[in-house]
Amino acid sequence: MELVAAYLQGRALQRERHYRDPLDPLHVNDNQLLRYYRFPRHEILWLCEVLDPYLRRTRRSHAVPTHTQVLVALRFYASGTFQSVIGDSCGLTQASVSRIIAAVTRVLTEKARIEIKFPSSANDLMKTVQDFSRFANLPRVIGAIDGTHIPIKAPYVDEHIYVNRKRFHSLNLQVVCNADGLIISYNTRYPGSTHDAFIWSNCALRDSGYPLEPYLLTPLSNPRTPGETRYNRSNTRTRGIIEQTCGILKSRFKCLHHSGRTLQCDPVKCSKIAITCLLLHNYCVKRRIPIPQEIAENDGEVNIAAKAAERGTGRAVRARLTEN
């Protein structure tokens, strides 16, 4: 009888158990929220509203609330801090934090595949071209492209192909942005040893997100005329947009930067985390979230795919531009 009574009492205590949530965005000021989560209060509440239908699996008393799941994931993306440390700060186990990050990442990755895209309508294309032209007087530009390396732990399979030119393991993330720093295309499939030119040539052939007849305009190695000098100056200013975008991306979400520790996941999961951060970056751009004061240095390749631009129509287009 004593054993039965103890068992019943244990079941009763289990039923009464609930998760005591220490994370409440309503009781934290915006400066703290921006510092630790990269979004102010009203934007975090908006994110919770968007993600709640996908994250709310149960109404049991010990379920982790949606806003806690969102804050835990944002804290990880913003800092790259070990999951156990994040768990200690909010009363969750490392296993729970891992499941939460995976769940939020899964939802945002799927949204990114739909929301991150090249401008498709005539009006959107014209606006993009005009924005780039106003910035540096370079005509007919619809995107600036660069590669940037995402540090990851050494994979168990094909470890050597993830070692980049700087001798650390990474994914080579290809990013295209518009004149406002909004990311409009990405590729996260390739290991760190892959050169940017190879990623570009394969994407141009296989990715329907790119225009049917893409051009890739790079600087001239040795400008000889005033027109070529002006072209190089415009090209450098325009290319600076994507370099700054990658720097802002890694400053906002330091899990992608070496200062925030190496991502401790397999390459597939690391790729999904990177895609998630791209989408969150776009939310920051669209909703005018303040940019971090210190901008991380971009570690992409210099003069991406320069050889590709020397072939065929790419060289012809560049020559016409330098003559004007």
Q: Are 260 and 317 in a shared domain?
A: yes
Q: Are residues 60 and 204 in the same domain?
A: no
Tell me how far apart the alpha carbons of residues 69 and 56 are, in angstroms, rounded to a whole number.
Answer: 10
Q: How many residues does the chain have?
A: 324
Res 17: pLDDT: 43
Q: Is 167 exposed, middle or buried (0-12, 13-18, 19+ CB in 10 A)?
A: exposed
**Among residues 83, 114, 145, which one ends one of the domains?**
114
> pTM to 2 decimals?
0.82
Last residue of a domain, one of 114, 132, 166: 114
Query: Do 104 and 231 share a domain, yes or no?
Result: no
The closest of 52, 49, 94 to 72, measured between CA atoms, is: 94
Measured on CA atoms in the order 218, 224, 227, 232, is the torsion positive or negative?
positive
103 and 213 together in one domain: no
Instruction: Give the pLDDT of residue 217.
Output: 67
Q: Are residues 73 and 159 in the same domain?
A: no
Residues 97 and 142 in one domain: no
Spatial neighbors of 160 by CB under 8 A, at least 6 apart, are 193
Q: Residue 321's closest CA among 214, 221, 212, 218?
A: 218
Asked if residue 289 and residue 156 are part of one domain, the reply reads yes
Same domain, 14 and 94: yes
Instruction: Tell me: do 166 and 34 sit in the same domain.
Output: no
Question: Domain limits at 276?
Answer: 116-323
Q: Are residues 39 and 151 in the same domain?
A: no
Identity at 295, one-letter amino acid code:
I
In 3-state terms, what secondary structure has residue 196? helix
Instruction: Give residue 203's pLDDT.
Output: 64
Are residues 62 and 182 both part of a single domain? Answer: no
Residues 161 and 253 both lie in one domain: yes
Neighbouring CB atoms inside 10 A of 248's CB total 19
Domain count within the chain: 2
Q: Which of 114, 143, 162 lies at the terminal end of a domain, its last residue?
A: 114
pLDDT tens series, the chain, 324 aa: 443 343 334 444 344 344 455 566 667 788 889 999 999 999 999 999 999 999 986 555 457 889 999 999 999 999 987 776 777 677 788 888 999 999 999 999 999 999 999 998 999 999 998 998 888 887 888 888 888 999 999 999 999 999 999 999 999 999 999 999 999 999 999 999 998 777 777 765 444 443 434 466 667 777 778 777 777 787 778 788 999 999 999 999 999 998 867 899 999 999 999 999 999 999 999 999 998 876 666 665 544 444 444 444 556 555 665 666
